[in-house]
Structure 1
Amino acid sequence: MLLLLLLTTIFLTSVWICRWIWYERFIKFAQFPQLPPSLLWGHLRIYHEVMQSGSLDRDHDHIFSQIHESLGRPPIVLFDYRPICRPVLVIANHEVGEQISRSSKQFRSSVPKLGLSFLEPVIGHTSILSAEGEKWKALRKTFNPWFSLQHLMSLMPSILGKIEIFVTQLDALSVSGDEVSLVTLTTNLMYDIIGNAIFDIDMDAQHLEPGHQGELVRAFNDLINAYWDDKIHLPWFFTPVNALKRRRLGNRVHRIMKSIVRRKHEEHLWRQQQQRRTNGYEKRPQPQLPPSITLLSLQETTHTGGILTPELLDQTCDQLRTFLLGGHDSPSATLAWAFYELSRTPRAQAAVHAELDGLFGPGRDAAAVRTALASPTEGPDLLRRMVYVEAVLKETLRLHPPASTARYSPKGSGFVVRLPTTGEELCLDDLILYNCSAIMHHDRGVFGSTANQFMPERWLMAEDEKNTNQRTIPPSAWRPYERGPRACIGQEFARITMRVVLAVVARQYEFIKVGIGALARDASTGLPILRPDGRYEVDSQVYTVNGRFFSATFHRARRLRRALGKAGKMTKDTTN
C-alpha cells in the first residue's frame, strides 16, 4: 500500500513538473516573438547553433541581430536561457526602448539596472553604475557639476597635452612604417586623458610596451582582459577559476587606487594647512569645483572632520574605478572605428579635411591646431563649429555603439510597454530587458535603405530644419549613451575629447587597415575598389569581439600633409 502511494505520488509529481515546464517553455511567453524553444534547453541550443554559423568570437549583439533578422525584424525578441539565467527580452525598437529608459509611475529613475555582480571586481559594489534609489541620486548630484560643459572646457589644456604624446607616437610610426593596433594607441591615449581627469596624475599609459606603463594601467588592463572570453555572460560557478582570477586582479586595482586616494587626501589636507598658515583663518572664496574627480569625492570628508573613513575610501575608489572603465573604453573604441570608417570612405574623409581647413586654415599642423583649441575664447567656438566632425562621430556611434543597457523589472511591478507596430500591451515583469542599440541603430524604418552604410551626412540633413523633404530621425533612435535619467554622465566628456582628437589628428594622418578589413585592390591597377555607395571595398568585414573593436586589427600610419598628393598610408569600440 505504501509502495503504491509512493509510486502514485512520484507519478503525479512528475506529471506536475512536466506540465509546469511545458507551461514555462511554450505558453507563458508565447505572445513574444522568439525562436522555437526546446522543452529542456529553451533557446540555449538553437542560440549555440546560430553562434556556430559565424565567427565564434563575435559579440553577442551580432548574434542577436542575425536572429532578429531571421524573425522578420520584430520590435522585441525573447531568449529563454533558463536554467542559466532569467529569460532575456531583446529590445529592437527605439520606441519600446524609450519606454524602458524613461521615468514611469513604477520607476521614477527608469526601470532598475540589472544586477552587475559579475562586474564588481571592476567597479566595486557601491558604483554609481549599479546604485539605485536615493544612493544613485546622491552620487549623480555629486558628480553632475564636474561633467558640465563649462568645467569640461577647463580641462582642455591637459587633454591637448596628452594628445601631443599621441601625435608624437604617430610621427614615429609614420617614419618606421610599423604595423600597430590602433585600438591599443587610442586606449592608451584615453587612459592618460581620463586618468588625469580622475586622479590629477600622469598614468604614463602611452607606451607600446606594457612593461613601461604605469602600475595602475597595467593592473587595470590585466583585470579587463580577464573578462574578454566567450564565457563572459555565464554565472561564476561555470568558470570558478576565472571568477577567482577576476576577484584577485580587482583587489589589486583596489589597493593601488586606495593608495592614490590616501595620498591625494593627505596632499589636500596639507594644502589646507598651508593656506591657513599663510592667510590665517580668514575665509576666502574657493573654486567651485576641484581639478579632479578624486578631490570632488573627498569633499565628503568635510562631514567627517577631515577624516577619510574606510567606508568613504571604498566608495570613492568604486566611483573612480567606474569612471576609469567608462572613460577609457568607449571613446577609444569609437575613435578606432571612426578612423577606420574614414579610411574606407574618401568622401567623408575629404569633408572632414575641408571643414578643419576652414576652421583652422589650410596647412596648419597639429601644434597650431592644439594652440587654437587651448584658447579659452577661441576653443569652445571651434568645437561648436565642427559640425561634420560631430556627424562623423554620431554616425560611428550609430554603426558601432560601444555598449547597451540591461534592466530588470521585478516580479509584481506591473511594468507594461506598448508595441508601436500593433498597439499591444505586454507586461515585462521578471524579465531581463536588454536595449540592443546595435539593432535599433540599423532600423530601416528610421534610417532607410542606407541603414547599414556609413553616411555622416544623414545627421546634417536631420538637423537642417529647412530640408523638410528629408527623413526625420527621432532623438530616441540614437542611443549609444542610452537615454533617460540614467543616461551616461560622462557622454559630454567623451564627445568633446573625441572631437578634439579628430581635429588634431584627422588632417595629419591617414590610416590604412592591414589584415582583416583591409581594402580590396584592383588586380590590374593596384588601386582600391570604390563601390557605388562611395566606400572602398574590403577583403573581409571587421567585427566586434565582446564589445571591443576586433583586437587583432592593425594599421599603418603616414603623415598626410608631409606626403600631400601622394597615396598616404595610415593606421589605425556605459550608462550611469
Structure 2
Amino acid sequence: MTFLNDYFVLNLPGWRLFIIACFMVIGIKTIKFFVELCRVRRKFQRMQREGLPMPPHHPVFGHLKLIGEIVSRLPSDVHRHVLPHQIKLLYPSLGPLFYLDTWPFGGEILVAVGPDAAYQMTQAHPLPKFHAMREYLKPMTGGNDLVSMEGKEWRKWRTIFNPGFSASHLMTLVPDLMKDMSVFCEILRKAAVNSDIVIMDHLTTRLNLDIISRMALDTNLNSQLETNDFVSALLSQLDWLSFGHEVNPFQRYNPIRPIVNWWNGRRMVRYIWRELDMRLKRRNIINKGIQVTRSKSIIDLALDNYLATKHGDNTINAMDNAFRDIATSQLRVFIFAGHDATSSTMCYALHLLWTNPKTRQLLIAEHDTILGTDHKEAARKITEDPYILNRLPYTMAVTKETLRLYPSASTARSGESGYFMSGTDGLQYPTEGFMVWSNSHAIQRDPAYWPEPSEFLPERWLVEEGHRLYPKKGTFRPFEFGPRQCIGQELAMMEMKIFLILTAREFEIRSVYEEWDSLHPKAGPKTLEGDRAYQILSGAAHPSDGLPCRVKLVGN
C-alpha cells in the first residue's frame, strides 16, 4: 500500500504537486497562527484574572477591538504613540504600568506611563533595545549603529563618539551651523515676498540635514538649495521604513521594499565612503606637516579617538575596514536621527509661538535684552561668542515646553526572563516576552504630574521647586534617561536656541490649516483633542500635512 501511495504521488503532474505543496504550507501556517492566537489570548485572560492592570480584554480580539474603536475617532494618519494616553483617558484607573494585547498586528506590550516605571527599565535595570526597532532601522543604518548595538560593543563605540557630541566641542561648530541657518532665513524671506503657502516641515528637514551632515561629516549637502543624491536616498528610505505591523497585507509584504531599501542603502554608503576617504587624505596631508585647516567634525574626533585606542597614535595609511563599516552605520543613524527629531521640534515651536502670541513677545524681549534690539546683528554676535546661548533661560524654556507637548519618539525595550517591574500598587509585572514601552507622550501629558498638561506654559521651567508648576523629577523624557539617552541632545538644544533667535524677531510665521483644508479636503477626523497639528509617523513624529504656513516679514 505504501508503494502504491508513493508511486501515485511521484507520478502526479508537477503543477498538481505545486498546488498540494502550497495548500500544505498554507494549512501549516494557519494552524500555527491559531495556536499562537490561542496562546496569547489565554495568557492575557489569565493575567487579567490575576489582577494585572490592563483595559478590558476580549478573549478573541484581545485589545484590538478597543484600539480600533479609539483609532476610528482619530485622524487616520495619527502617530500611534498617542494611543496609551488615549487609553488612559478612557480608563483613568489604570496606573503607571499596564498591558496591551495587540497580536498579531503588534505584539504583547507592557506600557510604562509613569516616571518610576520608566526609571526602572532605562536606568535601574536598562533593558536591551526592542528587536523590532533594530529591524526597522536596519535599511536606514545598515545595522551596526548605536541604536542597535548592545553590551560591550555599544559601550566601546559610544565612548568613541561621545567627544564629538560634548557641549564644549559643539560650541566650536557654531560658526559652521550659522551658515546653514542663514540659508534657511533667506528661503523664508523669499517665501514672505512670494506670499505662497510653504510646508514648513520640508524646509526644516532640509535645514537639519545640512546641519547634521556638516557637524558629523564636515560636508556641505546644500540640500536646501539643490538636489543631493544622498538626501534623495535617505528621504526615500524614510518613506519605505516599516515595522511590519501594517494591516494591509500589500503594504506589509510589499515585494518592492527590499529592492528599494537595497538601492537607497547603496547610494548612501557610496556617498559616505567617498567622504571618509577625503577625511583620510586630509589627515595624511596634516601629518606630513602641510598647513591645512583641521576638521572639527564628529567623525574626525571619533577617528582620533579610535586610532589612539587601537594604535596608540594618530597615524593611518588606509581606512580600517572595521572602522569604515561601523562609522558608515553610525553616520547614517546620526544623520537620520539628527535631522528627523529636531526638524519636527522646530515646526512645533513655530506653531506654538503663533498660537501663543504673549509667549512670543516674552521670547522676543529676552532676545532684545541679551542680543540687542537689531535682529540682523544676532548671527554675528552668536558666531563671535557662542556661549551667549547659555544666557537665554526663556528660550530654553520654550524649547523644553515644545518638547514636552510634542516629543518626537519614545523608547521600546525587550523584556527579560526573570525580570519583573514593580508597580506603585505593590504588584510585580513580568516582562519576559513583552515589548516594554516607555511612552513619553503619555507621561508628559499626564495631569498627575503636570498641572494644566495641555497648555503651553514655558514658565513651568522657570519657577522654583515647591511651585505647583515645577516639573516632577523624571517626568520630562524627550531624550530619555540612563546610559542610552540620546547622544545628540546637546546639539538639538543648541540648534533650537539659534533657530528661535534667528526666526522669532524677523518673521511672523502662522500655520494656515483652515486654508490648507479648503484646498485639500479629506474625509474623517482632522484633529486630536482639538489639535490640527497632531503628530504623524514619518520616521519620528512630525506635524500633520507638514505644517502648512504663510511667512511674513515683521513690520511689513
Q: TM-score range by the shorter chain?
A: 0.7 to 0.9
- Sequence identity (%): 26
Which of 60, 66, 70 is the equivalent residue of 1:46? Answer: 66
1:463-511 CA deviation, whole Å, 9 max, x = no partner? x35xx44343223100000111110000000000110110111111111
User: Per-residue deviation at 1:236?
Assistant: 11
Unaligned runs of 5+ in 1: 1-15, 105-109, 520-537, 564-576
Asked if residue 437 in structure 1 is aligned to residue 453 in structure 2, the reply is no
User: Per-residue deviation at 1:428?
Assistant: 2.2
Aligned counterpart, 1:419: 423
Q: 1:53 to 1:315 in 2, by over 3 A?
A: same
Aligned partner letter, 1:164 = S
User: Per-residue deviation at 1:308?
Assistant: 2.7
* Structure 2 Cα separation of the partners of residues 548 and 277 of structure 1: 47
Aligned counterpart, 1:474: 472
Aligned counterpart, 1:187: 205
Aligned counterpart, 1:80: 101
Which of 406, 412, 417 is the equivalent residue of 2:412? Answer: 406
User: Per-residue deviation at 1:542?
Assistant: 2.0
Confirm or deny: 8 A CA contact 2:115 2:443 kept in the other structure: yes
Confirm or deny: 8 A CA contact 1:258 1:313 kept in the other structure: no
User: Per-residue deviation at 1:253?
Assistant: 3.9
Unaligned runs of 5+ in 2: 1-34, 518-528
* Structure 2 Cα separation of the partners of residues 345 and 129 of structure 1: 36
Aligned partner letter, 1:57 = D
Which of 215, 221, 225 is the equivalent residue of 2:229? Answer: 215
Aligned counterpart, 1:111: 127
Q: 1:383 to 1:77 in 2, by over 3 A?
A: same
Asked if residue 25 in structure 1 is aligned to residue 28 in structure 2, the reply is no
* Structure 1 Cα separation of the partners of residues 215 and 413 of structure 2: 29
Q: 1:20 to 1:155 in 2, by over 3 A?
A: closer
User: Per-residue deviation at 1:539?
Assistant: 8.3
Which of 275, 285, 289 is the equivalent residue of 1:274? Answer: 285
Confirm or deny: 8 A CA contact 2:130 2:413 kept in the other structure: yes
1:214-257 CA deviation, whole Å, 9 max, x = no partner? 111111111112238xx764499874554642x33433343334
**TM-score, normalised by the number of residues in structure 2:** 0.83
Q: 1:277 to 1:542 in 2, by over 3 A?
A: closer
User: Which deviates the most, 130-139 or 251-260?
Assistant: 251-260
Which of 452, 455, 468 is the equivalent residue of 1:453? Answer: 455
Confirm or deny: 8 A CA contact 1:510 1:558 kept in the other structure: yes
Partner of 2:299, secondary structure, is: helix
User: Which deviates the most, 259-268 or 42-51?
Assistant: 259-268
1:307-456 paired onto structure 2 within 5 Å: 307-362=318-373, 364-366=374-376, 368-375=377-384, 378-380=385-387, 382-410=388-416, 412=417, 414-420=418-424, 422-448=425-451, 450-456=452-458
Q: 1:33 to 1:170 in 2, by over 3 A?
A: same
Partner of 1:446, secondary structure, is: coil
Confirm or deny: 8 A CA contact 1:516 1:539 kept in the other structure: no
Partner of 1:100, secondary structure, is: helix
User: Per-residue deviation at 1:429?
Assistant: 2.3
Which of 462, 482, 485 is the equivalent residue of 1:484? Answer: 482
1:184-204 CA deviation, whole Å, 9 max, x = no partner? 111111111001112211111
1:87-166 paired onto structure 2 within 5 Å: 87-104=108-125, 110-115=126-131, 116-166=134-184
Q: Relative to total residues, which structure has the larger helix share, 1 or 2? A: 2
Q: 1:167 to 1:276 in 2, by over 3 A?
A: closer
Q: 1:372 to 1:77 in 2, by over 3 A?
A: same
Confirm or deny: 8 A CA contact 2:363 2:394 kept in the other structure: yes
Q: 1:27 to 1:178 in 2, by over 3 A?
A: same
Q: 1:65 to 1:271 in 2, by over 3 A?
A: closer
User: Per-residue deviation at 1:295?
Assistant: 2.8
1:47-104 CA deviation, whole Å, 9 max, x = no partner? 1222112211111122322112111152123111223453111211112111111033
Q: 1:555 to 1:256 in 2, by over 3 A?
A: same
Q: 1:98 to 1:482 in 2, by over 3 A?
A: same
User: Per-residue deviation at 1:515?
Assistant: 1.8
* Structure 2 Cα separation of the partners of residues 540 and 80 of structure 1: 28
1:174-253 paired onto structure 2 within 5 Å: 174-207=192-225, 212-227=226-241, 233-234=245-246, 239=251, 241-242=253-254, 244-245=256-257, 247-253=258-264
1:144-203 CA deviation, whole Å, 9 max, x = no partner? 111111100000001111110011011111111110011111111111100111221111
User: Per-residue deviation at 1:297?
Assistant: 4.3
* Structure 1 Cα separation of the partners of residues 442 and 455 of structure 2: 14
Confirm or deny: 8 A CA contact 1:512 1:518 kept in the other structure: no
Aligned counterpart, 1:544: 535
* Structure 1 Cα separation of the partners of residues 503 and 96 of structure 2: 40
Aligned partner letter, 1:440 = I
**TM-score, normalised by the number of residues in structure 1:** 0.80
User: Per-residue deviation at 1:273?
Assistant: 4.1
Aligned partner letter, 1:173 = A
* Structure 2 Cα separation of the partners of residues 19 and 499 of structure 1: 53
1:502-557 CA deviation, whole Å, 9 max, x = no partner? 011111111111125999xxxxxxxxxxxxxxxxxx98632111122112531101
1:127-160 CA deviation, whole Å, 9 max, x = no partner? 1001100011011101111111110000000111
